[in-house]
Chains A and B, each alone.
Chain A
Amino acid sequence: MKKIIVNFLSALLPALAFGQANIVPAKSQTAPVIINGATIHTGNNQVINNGYLILAQGKITAMGEGSAPVTTGAEIINAQGKHVYPGFICPLTDLGLVEFEAVKASVDNEETGDLNTHVRSIVAYNTDSKVIPTVRSNGVLMAQITPEGGLISGQSSVVVLDAWNWQDAAYKTDIAMHVNWPVIAQQRFGQTSGPQFLELQKDRIQKSIDVLNELFSQAKGYSELAKPAVINTRFEAMKGLFDGNKKLFIEANKAKDILQAINFSKKYNVKAVITGGAESYLVADALKDNNIPVILRETQTLPDKEDDDVYLPYKLPGLLQKAGVTYGLTGIGFWRQRNLPFEAGNAVPYGLTKEQALSMITLNNAKILGIDKTTGSLEVGKDATLFISKGDALDMLTLNVEEAFIQGRKINLDNLHKQLYKRYADKYGVKAE
């Protein structure tokens, strides 16, 4: 049986799990690129109509209204009637860590154990995943590759979505530690729970919080030791939290859990980010007062409770905007992140402007991930990580990414799906448009 599996895998893997041989990572930018005549959505709530951008040596060197100054040797792209956006940034994803959810051999997003402070996602990030080009084709050009599971899942890194290998892809490594705030486990469906169940849960939660406190207080002490007698790799990995180099991302959804998570981060004086945040709108003041941002998960999801506003998940970004909380957005999983622009667009009829929705998945996410000095919006001096869409990129009716640049490199927008589309369009004599 084992042999069969091995044979099966060896037959399969070259065909399915490796990168397509004909989709090659782009070379470094050599010549300047000028984009003219575009509607430029900067990502920081500005729109430049009929504007230009100059990209050189991977950076935006100039931009403004009207047409670009003459630049020798530049490739000129006429983007008349088209839209330019900063590359979308997808936080909290296991893109590149998982190829097929149901095939265990292709799943690398969750290490066993509860306190995996030392585990790093970046080393498992598979640049050759066939999923990545499908996500990239919709304008998602950067991502925070994030481990899952346990009480502490490990550390995430930010990558660009066009690279030969993970080292190449790394934009900023080990930027955050991911904690899952202990919560009441969902009861099995249809089960009624007695008070006993709740008591047990309460016990378990308190134990987990105690474990976290013990870990953090000792790690903090450890971080102050000049030379620890015994090296503790878990504590070593946490040093960055206490010197401000790493953020603590805490997954918490219920109001009370968020409040506890805020207090926890204050106790250890670490920079916290709340992820999930389904009930963040209920504790917006606490988030704002403590300057703690939130990364929401999905607008295209159901309300948690049958009593909730039918449209609550659509309205949530607008509620945080109104309350003055810093918020970003992610979608879900890995392959579904190609819908990230629509997750953002979905908040527009329910309280955000289009430009606010755009910021949510560009500059806001960059700020929360700590990469906004160099990327996340279209500004002179920042990375030339952007794309040109024929129409409004937050609406699937009009999204059509024609060109995309990552740090000035013009990337290949082909993917497995487009290839199969062409293959069968040819078979049937249908025009593939």
Chain B
Amino acid sequence: MKKLLLILFLSGCFLENHAQETFPVNGSYDIRPGLFAFTNATIVINADQTIQNGTLLIKDGVIESVGTQVTVPKGYVSVDLKGKYIYPSLIDAFSTYGMPEAPRQAFNAGGGRTVRQQVFTTTKPGAYAWNEAIRPEMNAKAVFSVNQKSAEDFKKNGFGIVQTLIRDGIARGSSMVVSLVDDAAQKVVLKDEAGAQYSFSKGTAATNYPSSLMGSIALLRQTYYDAQWYKSQNKEYNISLAEFNRLQNLPQFFETGDVLNVLRADKIGDEFAKQYVFKTDGKEYQRIDAVKATGGSFIIPVSFPKPYDVEDPYDARDISYSQLKDWDLAPTNPAVLEKAGVKFAITSYGLDKPADFWTNIRTAIENGLSEKQALKSLTETPAELLGISSKTGSLAKGKNADFIITSGNLFKKETIIYENWIDGKQYVANKMDVRDLRGNYALNIDGTSNLTLKIAGSASSYEVTVERAADSAKAKANFSRSGDMVSMNFDLKKTPPVSVRLSGAITSLNPVTIKGDAVFADGSSGKWAAIFKQAISESAKPELAKASVTHGPVIYPFTANGYSAAPKQEAILFKNATVWTNEKDGILQNADVLIEGGKIKAVGKNLSAGNAKVIDATGKHLSPGIVDEHSHIAATGGINEGTQAVSAEVRIADVLNSDDINIYRQLAGGVTTSHILHGSANPIGGQTQLIKLRWGKTPEQLKFEGSDGFIKFALGENVKQSNSGAFITGPMRFPQTRMGVEQVYIDEFTRAKEYKAARSVKGNTVRRDLELDAIAEILDKKRFITCHSYVQSEINMLMHVADSMGFKINTFTHILEGYKLADKMKEHHIAGSTFSDWWAYKMEVAEAIPYNGKLMHEVGVLTGFNSDDAEMARRLNQEAAKAVTYGNLSQEDALKLVTLNPAKMLHVDNRIGSIKAGKDADLVLWSDNPLSIYAKAEKTFVDGIAYWDIDENAIREKDMKAEEGRIIQRMLEAKGNGSAAQRPAFQRPRLYECETLEEDAFKDFTK
């Protein structure tokens, strides 16, 4: 045996956990046989199989046999478990057990001002990755140590095994699986490398990059490519990349956070043929279909939100509708996953305190999770995900002796976990031989009879009273028990006064009898005895019959104004409207428009409705949906990756946020298509994403299918960091002047050309560089530039650079001095997307004028107005009207500034931007001339679906109020029942503009 183990150990397949062979022993060896037999128990073999009156034999830490026909051989310590249950030990698939505390990087110096060190590349000595967030060389096994204190918290809850990881960084290295047995680190390891771990959070990495979620995603994506390249190159030695590759054969775990992050992580996985196991924050119910479609397995927490303090209606306004709904629905999450047939493990990670674990498991069960699934998710599933099914997770011959002994069904409130055996080693959570003492006793104290001792409360916390029948005197007793020893004192006060201290022992179990010595107040002493008479009557505190919990519907998206039933695509005939066609026909009076199947079917007079629903649009105006060329809504985790001068590798597409309320608000202002841009913190920003405002859909479904890819460039004060709020110490990021900006472009395009040439000759042996790929796409006219710009000098500069490097600029966005160079822009066929009337907010807009649009338009530049602002976007029609105010542009041309013209700039005018048969039914029905301040968007259609309807909205507002009332009522009840509460704390939703930097906010996306 010894020899065999040694061989196993040396061959490195698996660290056997029974021996610490290499260590010298002080004194005599103390090797015990480890033979135990547990008999007469209800044995839950696994979630699907339970045996009654079973016997479990274990030998030397391993299950020897389990079943009903098992005879107990000689030499076994036999434990009678009549009436008790045996379950497999629970497995927690996500923890940081035994890991050292990682020091957090201090980001803020306080005082509102951010002090930031510019750290461009790693500060870690050694041949590691350029970015500290990529740290696959961090292996849990190298830093693990046994921590009995925290192990106890797990063990009390029934856990025997955990996966533990270093929860720091994007590529976090390998995790390990350890048992929680009280033994040396050498003896508790089940798997020294259980999985490769990832997240979106850079953690303690000092490198500035990434400062955004899209940066994190880009970095991980690039790392996959770098690692592939690393295999077949000999130029560079890089431990991180080598380790990254080495860990690819392990199960891959991704700590994602919210449900949209699950989808984001899954997309990365798809790109590199990886299927992650997702550790989430337990909100899968909010997008269960999309979650299921990932095909992934999940590790979910049971940390459900606490009810809020809602007594004060003003303060309660700080609780958002989605917070209320989440409180209502989060406990259904495990049940929703079960119903959907998704494989998931349950972790205790993220609980406020370990004691909440079973309370919350029971909450999940009350909310529809089956006990069978709960057990599966705590045993077999995690075992499977961690690749330890052959050793643990169920009770079978040959598996590790990992099991718990309970007083009854594990999921019942009154059940006590007595013992937790791990590797055949006993851990006592609650003493099994401790009998439940609750009941009524006849108490005799040295002749004073007629007393009743009532032991009530719970088995772990007794409430004890002494009563005298004669005069109904009653007193509370201080009662404590240790093993078989009992002590107690009480004072009856009334005559005859009985104040006495008692000490005794349980002397008999049938009936329970406690006997001992008494000491009275006057110092005299005597004897006492209490004899069990009957059980406490059950009616004392009847548990309220739990009405089956009712929940509100899940809404899509999971925020205020989400739909419980999504609006449908309809065939509609708009009758008798003023139709702003944006086509040759101009503005048609008393015209009809027919839409069907998401497309415009016909435009004309007296159209027949056929099966279409008729909307009488008399006195109303119908216009194409508004197109915003420059928007930052519907993105999350930062829209600037300004830590480098060039961040062409980051993609807004990776971080779309379908749940942004501004999507809905802007539909209410007639917007149907938005171009979501990277910010303007650097000369070459990230790749943009065109979306349609399909409220309720997933991020993927927002994307304007088939649209051309764009990229954000930027010039001026932002890229040269003129007004940066951060006080920067150390080296500055290049460039700091407009002179430097030019050189960034020249250098980048030069490199991209060389890269392109090299790849075309040497193929994949040239490292694939996602940043240069994007630039190469520009050179190949497959990606198009929209460039944030203000003053004429820089605009002129970029046009010259483009000419000399052989690329084209599609659009100058903001372009507030476009009017000064309109002739040159026209010559270069560059469009101008500007603000209507913004100026004076910084030096470079000193000569920004509201006539800019008019002048560019008159010179022949394709001109539009954009928002760059979630508020302005929802009244871009009004902004368009300002071209009439300032410069008297025709109304028809003015509306085109926010519809057809931006559609042209974005290369989607074949789909949207005008009202023409065959185009998308993206339309707005206005109460008035859409350019008037008095116009309201009554209905906004995208693909023929009325995502905004002013009347439906009014109904939904009422429904929301009612739902809010219902949930608050439930909350008050929950608090009445003793649930801990949390105070409302208003969180303002994040709004992005070009200049928004994420450096302060970027902390931890998994939170």
Which chain A residues have a beta carbon within 8 Å of chain B's beta carbons? 16, 99-103, 131, 184, 186-193, 195, 197-198, 254-256, 279, 282, 300-307, 309-311, 334-335, 338-339, 342, 345-346, 348-350, 394-397, 399-400, 416-418, 420-421, 424-425, 428, 430, 432-433
User: 9 smallest A-B Cβ distances: which pairs?
Assistant: A102-B842, A421-B851, A345-B933, A306-B661, A335-B840, A417-B849, A307-B560, A430-B858, A307-B321
| A310 and B668 form a contact (CB under 8 A) | yes
CB<8 Å pairs between A and B, sample of 25? A16-B846, A190-B1003, A191-B1001, A193-B987, A255-B314, A300-B871, A300-B875, A302-B662, A305-B317, A305-B560, A307-B321, A310-B953, A339-B837, A346-B875, A348-B933, A349-B935, A399-B885, A418-B851, A421-B854, A421-B855, A424-B822, A428-B822, A430-B855, A432-B851, A433-B888
B985 lies within 8 A of A306 (CB): no
Question: With A190-B1003, A339-B837 in contact, is A397–B884 under 8 Å at CB?
Answer: yes
Question: How distant is the Cα of A432 from the Cα of B510 in the complex, in angstroms?
Answer: 108
Interface string of B962-989 (1 = CB under 8 A from A): 0010000000000000000011011111
Question: Across the interface, which residues of A come within 8 angstroms of B661, CB to CB?
Answer: 306
Q: Which residues of A contact B315 (CB under 8 A)?
A: 256
> A307 near B960 (CB under 8 angstroms)?
yes
Closest to B722 in A: A102
Q: Is there a chain A Cβ closer than 8 Å to B850's Cβ?
A: yes
Q: Please tell me which one of the listed residues A188, A254, A306 contacts residue B322 in the complex, with CB atoms under 8 A apart.
A: A306
CB of B859 closer than 8 Å to a CB of A: yes
Q: How far is the CA of A342 from the CA of B841 in the complex (A)?
A: 20
| Cα distance A294–B158 in the bound complex, in angstroms | 61
A102 is contacted by which of B843, B859, B1003 (Cβ under 8 Å)?
B843
Which B residues are in CB contact (< 8 Å) with A430?
855, 858-859
- Contact in complex: A342, B933 (CB < 8 Å): yes
Among B843, B871, B931, point to the contact of A397 (Cβ < 8 A): B931
Nearest CB on B from A396, distance (A): 4
CA distance A159 to B60 in the complex (A): 93
Q: Is B200 an interface residue (CB 8 A)?
A: no
**Distance A256 CA – B313 CA, assembled complex (angstroms):** 10
Chain B contacts for A197, CB-based, 8 A? 985
A338: chain B residues within 8 A (beta carbon): 837
The answer to whether A346 touches B933, judged by C-beta atoms less than 8 angstroms apart, is yes
State how many residues of chain B have any CB contact under 8 Å with chain A: 77
Which of chain B's residues have a CB closer than 8 A to the CB of A346? 875, 878, 933
List, in ascending order, chain A residues with CB within 8 A of B321's CB. 306-307
The answer for the CA separation of A8 and B664 in the assembled complex, in Å, is 47
CB distance from A105 to the nearest CB of B (A): 10
Contact with A along B755-796 (1 / 0, CB 8 A): 000000000000000000000000000000000000000000
Contact of A189 with B988 at beta-carbon distance under 8 Å, contacts A306-B322, A307-B321, A348-B934 already known: yes
Q: Report if B839 contacts A (CB, 8 A).
A: yes
By beta carbon, the residue of chain A nearest B848 is A417
B420 located at the interface, meaning its Cβ lies under 8 Å from any Cβ of chain A in the complex: no
A395 in contact with B985 (CB, 8 Å): no
* B833 contacts partner chain A, Cβ-Cβ < 8 Å: no
In Å, the complex CA distance between A263 and B885 comes to 45
When chains A and B are docked, how far (Å) is the Cα of A366 from the Cα of B20? 88
Q: Is the CB of A189 within 8 A of B870?
A: no
Closest-by-CB residue of A relative to B822 is A428
Residues of B within 8 A of A301 (CB): 871
1/0 per residue B817-850: CB within 8 Å of A?
0011011000000000000010111110111011
User: B991 — which chain A residues lie within 8 A by C-beta?
Assistant: 302
Q: B840 contacts which chain A residues (CB < 8 A)?
A: 99-101, 131, 334-335
Cβ–Cβ contact B871 & A192, under 8 A: no
B559 at the A/B interface (Cβ < 8 Å)?
Answer: yes
- Compute how far the CA of A302 lies from the CA of B989 in the bound complex, rounded to whole angstroms: 11
* In the complex, chain A residues whose CB is within 8 Å of the CB of B870: 302
Given contacts A16-B846, A348-B933, A421-B849, contact A187 B987 (CB under 8 A): yes
| Known A184-B986, A416-B847; further 7 A-B contacts with Cβ < 8 A | A302-B870, A306-B321, A310-B665, A395-B932, A420-B819, A428-B858, A430-B859
In whole angstroms, what is the CA distance A433 to B858 when docked?
12
When chains A and B are docked, how far (Å) is the Cα of A172 from the Cα of B1003? Answer: 50
**B882 contacts A396, C-beta separation under 8 Å:** yes
Q: Which of A102, A189, A306, A339 has most chain B Cβ within 10 Å?
A: A306
Chain B residues near A418 (CB-CB < 8 A): 851
Contact B931 A191 (CB under 8 A): no
Contact A396–B559 (Cβ < 8 Å): no
In the assembled complex, the CB of A49 is this many whole angstroms from the nearest CB of chain B, namely 20
Interface membership of B804, Cβ < 8 A: no
Contact B878 A103 (CB under 8 A): no
Instruction: Please tell me which one of the listed residues A190, A309, A395 contacts residue B934 in the complex, with CB atoms under 8 A apart.
Output: A395
- Cβ A395 vs Cβ B933 within 8 A: yes
B:315-333 near A, CB below 8 Å: 315, 317, 320-322
* Residues B983 and A198 in contact, CB atoms below 8 Å apart: yes
Is B1007 at the interface (CB under 8 A from chain A)? yes
Q: Is the CB of B887 within 8 A of A345?
A: no
Give the nearest-CB partner of B988 in chain A: A186
Q: Specify which chain A residues have a CB less than 8 angstroms from the CB of B888 in the assembled complex.
A: 433
A396 to B662: give the CA distance in the assembly, Å: 24
B839 touches A305 (CB 8 A): no
B933 contacts A417, C-beta separation under 8 Å: no
Q: Which of B665, B723, B989, B1001 contacts A188 (CB 8 A)?
A: B1001
- Chain A residues whose CB sits within 8 angstroms of the CB of B708 once the complex forms: none
A102 touching B887, Cβ below 8 Å: no
Q: Is the CB of B841 within 8 A of A396?
A: no
User: In the bound complex, how far is the Cα of B936 from the Cα of A420, in angstroms?
Assistant: 34
Give A326 to B870 CA distance when docked, in angstroms. 30
Q: Could you say which residues of chain B place their CB within 8 Å of the CB of A309?
A: 957
Determine whether the beta carbon of B927 is less than 8 Å from that of A349: yes
Closest to B841 in A: A101
Q: Which residues on A sit within 8 Å (CB–CB) of B751?
A: none
Residue with the greatest number of chain B CB neighbours at <10 A, chosen from A193, A395, A432 = A395
Q: When the two chains form the complex, which single residue of B717, B878, B960 contacts A396, counting CB atoms closer than 8 Å?
A: B878
Contact across chains for B317 and A102 when beta carbons are under 8 A apart: no
CB distance from B400 to the nearest CB of A (A): 39
Is B113 in the interface zone, CB < 8 Å from A?
no
- In the complex the two chains form, is B850's CB within 8 Å of A417's CB? yes
B881 within 8 A of A: yes
Is B990 among interface residues, defined by CB-CB distance under 8 A?
Answer: yes
* Alpha-carbon separation in the docked complex, A100 to B722 (Å): 13
List B contacts of A256 (CB < 8 A).
314-315
Known: A338-B837, A425-B855, A428-B858. A397 touches B881 (CB 8 A): yes
Scoring B residues 303 to 345 as 1 if CB is less than 8 Å from chain A, else 0, what string do you get? 0000000000011010011100000000000000000000000
B881 x A396 contact (CB < 8 A): yes
Q: Are A420 and B846 in contact (CB under 8 A)?
A: no
